[in-house]
Chain A
Amino acid sequence: MSVLTGILIGLATGVVFGFALEKSRVFEPGAIVGQMQLRSFLMLKIFLSAVVTGLVVLAVLNGVFGVKLSLKPLLWRADIIGGVILGVGIVLSGACPGTSLAQVGAGYRDALFVVAGGLTGALVYGYNDAAIVALLAEKGEKIGFDQLLGVPFWLGALVLAALLVGLLGVLEKLTPWRGEVGDDADGLLPMTSNPREPATVAKGGPRTA
């Protein structure tokens, strides 16, 4: 495929992705920090809905049409160490690598610093990739839970999708999403009575809708 075709497909995919991220409010730092303090579950709801859809889509693409999957290898140390570091960064920046760009599009100015920091992080990692890979010293196989359990991928995918739909049903019952969006759609939950904190964060009166 030519680079230009790839770019056009990427742009089309990204515009839909970014539109959905903005509408879902998951790009809001309020939603991300709220999720990680286990006060709001908006991020988990969007995330798991995308996973469920992906599971069904791939069960069909792989199970019916034989489309090849694209798994990443299982690297215990890299997955755990890298994952924890990534999680720390997600909370400090209030963004994921993808949603940082949605924040830029929606107008958050600090997101430009997140993106600049991200580029610098990728740069520093790149210069040290060989050393880090040597330090972690592991070789991984591309392995899925379907292989571990000895079931066809499509079956494992559909079973997990069904379980996650059940989990989402329970989550929604416990914390309805409309209560998590926030008055200004910024993922901020109503203030709880906490004497150490200011009564309101809105500056200059109520914001317009």
Chain B
Amino acid sequence: MSVLQKRAWSPYAAGVLIGLLQIPTFLFMDTALGASSSFVTVAAHLATVFDPAADKIKYFASHMWGAKNWWQVAVVIGIALGAYLSMRLSGARRRSISPVWQRATGTTTLAARAPLAFLGGFIMLFGARIAGGCTSGHGISGIAQLSVGSTIAVAAMFAGGIATAALFRRV
């Protein structure tokens, strides 16, 4: 079996590969790996559909155009493509929802899971935009640059995450 067809790699090998992506990102894009601001780029363009004045808002305007903003949108689309490719090669297709939700929240159907998934996504991006980065931008990239702010943000993420997971049933 080829290494590309395996269902799981060592987390250390996968982590190293992700870390190496900083090389093209710093050399070609003059920035660090990140993911959450791409949601703003897409949301800003969606906003202009029903609110033509949305692009007058500075925050939206600064995320709408240019190579760096669209580079990150392409990264997250690439993430979906790469995960699909890897899943097809290994055959580890995921269906509906993860069985962990039955253990954690007693949820077994997509319909029952959808509201919490939507709310979780909302809270996740709202928090990431207040903090100015997510697990990628603050986490993988910020700590790798010895950033004080990113280290604080990551500690806060784990604090919020651990407190919330304590409300779930033990998985």
Chain A residues packing against B (C-beta within 8 Å): 1-3, 5-30, 33-39, 42, 45-58, 61, 67-76, 78-111, 113-127, 129-130, 132, 136, 140, 142-146, 148, 153, 156-157, 160, 168, 177, 181, 184-189, 192, 194, 197, 201-203
CB atoms of B26 and A79 under 8 A apart: no
Contacts A23-B86, A61-B27, A157-B146 hold; do A83 and B131 have CB atoms under 8 A apart? yes
Other 17 A-B pairs with CB < 8 A, given A13-B78, A83-B138, A201-B103 = A18-B81, A24-B9, A37-B170, A42-B11, A51-B143, A70-B145, A72-B150, A80-B153, A81-B127, A86-B131, A88-B160, A89-B126, A94-B120, A97-B36, A125-B129, A130-B58, A184-B92
B50 → chain A closest CB, angstroms:
10
CB atoms of B87 and A106 under 8 A apart: yes
Contacting residues, chain B, for A85 (C-beta < 8 A): 123, 126-127, 130-131, 160
Q: Tally B residues with Cβ within 8 Å of A.
A: 139
Contacts A19-B83, A34-B171, A71-B145 hold; do A123 and B43 have CB atoms under 8 A apart? yes
CB atoms of A37 and B166 under 8 A apart: yes
Contacting residues, chain B, for A140 (C-beta < 8 A): 149
Among residues of A, the one whose C-beta sits closest to the C-beta of B83 is A105
Q: List 29 A-B contacts (CB under 8 A).
A: A11-B81, A14-B75, A33-B168, A34-B171, A37-B162, A51-B139, A61-B22, A67-B26, A67-B27, A74-B149, A79-B152, A81-B131, A82-B131, A83-B160, A87-B159, A91-B160, A96-B35, A97-B124, A100-B121, A105-B84, A106-B83, A106-B93, A107-B93, A114-B120, A115-B121, A120-B43, A144-B145, A148-B148, A188-B100
B26 → chain A closest CB, angstroms:
6
CB atoms of B8 and A24 under 8 A apart: yes
Say whether chain B's binding surface is mostly helix, strand, loop, or mixed: helix
Interface string of B111-145 (1 = CB under 8 A from A): 00111111111111111111111111111111111
B5 → chain A closest CB, angstroms:
10
CB atoms of A188 and B21 under 8 A apart: no
Contacting residues, chain A, for B114 (C-beta < 8 A): 110, 113
Q: Return the contact of A93 from the options B68, B73, B117, B137 (Cβ within 8 A).
A: B117
Interface string of B92-119 (1 = CB under 8 A from A): 1111111111111000101001111111
CB atoms of A82 and B129 under 8 A apart: yes
A14 to B86, CA, bound (A): 13
- B52 beta carbon closer than 8 Å to chain A: no
CB atoms of A70 and B32 under 8 A apart: yes
Q: Return the contact of B134 from the options A46, A98, A102 (Cβ within 8 A).
A: A98
Q: Return the contact of B116 from the options A9, A86, A92 (Cβ within 8 A).
A: A92
Q: Return the contact of B171 from the options A82, A115, A188 (Cβ within 8 A).
A: A188
A127 to B61, CA, bound (A): 11
Going nearest first, the 8 A-B pairs with the smallest beta carbon separation are A14-B78, A49-B15, A53-B19, A87-B160, A18-B82, A83-B156, A117-B121, A82-B131
A58 to B20, CA, bound (A): 10
A107 to B135, CA, bound (A): 22
CB atoms of A121 and B158 under 8 A apart: no
CB atoms of B82 and A57 under 8 A apart: no
